[in-house]
Structure 1
Amino acid sequence: MKTMHIGQLIKQEMDKQGKTVSWLARELSYCRTNVYKIYDKKSIDTDLLLRISILLKHDFFACYSNELK
């Protein structure tokens, strides 16, 4: 099983959608520094991942499911 880095996947999706760190910070009621910390994380709290998935309309949980295949 290869190691997945969820923070980098979130960053890639943000870049793909043209969303900024400021946008995500505002939507999550976080400061920008905390969004950059999310990008550095290899794992993430599921509640936060769900919020980000909803905001970006992208199922990040499927990334984990695909790791099982």
Structure 2
Amino acid sequence: MNLKVIHIGSLVKAKAEELRISPERITNFLNCTEDEIEAMYEQEYMDTDKLLRWSKLLRYDFFRIYTGHLILYAPPSKTDRVIKIRDSHLEFRKSIYTEEVKIFILDKIITGQMTVAEVITKYKIPKTTLYKWIKKA
């Protein structure tokens, strides 16, 4: 899966076809016509409320795809900004790396496109986390 360029409509369509969800069930759940569903499959971007409904229907967290993109391609934040986040009442989960991200990173290492040190430097993944992934692979 290409996490750099995300075409959410095609991913939704692939998941719906994989689960063999009938068009009637989709139209009833989303309260729209089959033509509107086909139009959604062609969209590169989708409103969050529509994407949330698709996630519920297909029982797949499509938002994690965007999380993976942010982990890999967002610019590194400044340290003073991290302190502000810690002061807020937000709680972050420890395991933020999706399977797609892990596979992407491990593929880079296994194929020799990047070394472990390059991955740690570029994607800011902790060394212990990366070595645990490699050990399990």
**Structure 1 length-normalised TM:** 0.90
Counterpart of 1:53 in structure 2 is 55
Q: How many residues align?
A: 69
Deviation of 1:57 (Å): 0.8
Letter in 2 for 1:23: R
Task: Report the identity percentage.
Answer: 32
Q: Which moved more, 1:14-23 or 1:40-49?
A: 14-23
**Structure 2 partner of 1:10:** 12
RMSD after superposition: 1.3
Computing the radius of gyration from Cα coordinates, the structure with the larger value is 2
5+ residue gaps, structure 1:
none
Cα deviation 1:4-60 (Å, max 9, x = unaligned)? 100000001001111133321121110000000000000000011111101111100
Question: What is the CA distance between 1:2 and its match in structure 2?
Answer: 2.4
In the alignment, the residues of structure 2 paired with residue 18 and residue 65 of structure 1 have an alpha-carbon distance, to the nearest angstrom, of: 26
- Structure 1 segments, 4+ long, off by >6 Å, are none
